[in-house]
Structure 1
């Protein structure tokens, strides 16, 4: 096997009181998964063994104490804690939050050091992770600080891709967070991601309005007329293939989204409600715009079903395959866009 066939996929445990451990183990019930890449879970063998016993799962766990002990063809689990963790299914507590943060921080450091190639994160609970040492509302903001680039929450599936102008902010604060710079930056990130990560040479991007009916020419607010529309016109003048803004209420119902490579929504629920309605269970949350690849499933911690053995791993599996696909697409893009003089020089040797 060459290095590409041995892509190392790092996985965080998420909130240990949720369904993260269950969906991770269920994803590897089929041993053929280990032929496609090399996994390493940032948690502990005791914790994963507890999950396996709780749900009657047969995934064979290979415990390691450092990343240089990773074995290809094994389900590797890096020991972050020695003591047993007391799982309390569906409970929000600081101990669970601390372990979730420790797993994320350790995995992110490994990603930065290229000890793993991509990162797939299990769901966290925003309340339990919040502390003096971790004040971020979620994965995206934390990774934006730790990795190079400008992050964008990009929900992707086979039939739909939705990016967000604003993500985890109160609805009342949305208009104040949207300005020409934000609009141009986010659209630029989507465009670059579509080209580098998905192999789309001339991306077609649709933008949804801020207010209902795009403000109805100022009758329902002037944010679209004052801010969004002028910014889009400037982007089109620069050669970007941008459409809109469209009224969000009918855009998905009439399947207009099928005409575009990506959709940019103004705020969280405007984009995620239709995305999860159309693609829930096989959609993926991808953090675009950063120097390294991170994905996660399209659902949360599942506290309501935690411990019941009812969680399905399909979205987590999709997140793994999407991360690997993007990693390889980036490699292809870099090769295709490498300095042609360097290519010529190598050929002559």
Structure 2
């Protein structure tokens, strides 16, 4: 009996019935899509749908309740003329630069320290990572106690006999934003350390030994050889930390409340204050859209670099 076959198929006799996918096969093919469908629909509605709704509200004259009297970009113009918004934006610049920079320096330094295979490495790594397990609310409350001039560090040092010691940043309008930096760096630097440590442990030891055989000192090896190999780690850490800085809300509320006055406001607290406590939903929505633009300005280059590296990898 003759048989016929096509590429990729086994030979079958002429006239034999062609096998067709069964109902079970179709169900198995569609089952993952059916399982993921509710999550996709919920994400589209409650994430991207609300983003679109927020943008629509930013184009309206909404105050206490949403209204659909469209005023174009008037809310954005009001936002640009609002002094408190510019204070929040300036604070975000100061907070973001110091937060990202200090976390990178401390995280890289701690990772290099642990990479020396020191004793009690596991215990130290756990201690450094522990703050990341806390919420920013807990971090804010704890540091509010520590930085309170009448209860915390200042009171403790004065109790030791140094009566002239002053550390009242928490109640100083010019220094309050730096207390946010202290608390945020304390919490996030351990996470950056873990990223750098994972990158360091992924570098081939033969590269380091070759550099040392050529006479390079240990600091020069890390600066000239190791750090260039960790560029993807640095880029990822910058993206994640910048994303955290732009969205910072709970730490500000718990630590300074945006005060004294509104001297330590960030865009997230500005948005909340205007949208929910000052009954200016339109302006609050406009500030939220600008924050979203800042997040996208960080995420889009990151995603582009990831896709490009995979495509050329």
Measured against the shorter chain, the TM-score band is: under 0.3
The structure in which a higher percent of residues are helix is 2
Relative contact order: is structure 1 or structure 2 higher (C-alpha 8 Å, sep ≥ 6)?
2
Give me the TM-score of the superposition, normalised by structure 1. 0.22
Give me the TM-score of the superposition, normalised by structure 2. 0.23
The structure in which a higher percent of residues are strand is 1
Of structures 1 and 2, the larger Rg is shown by 2
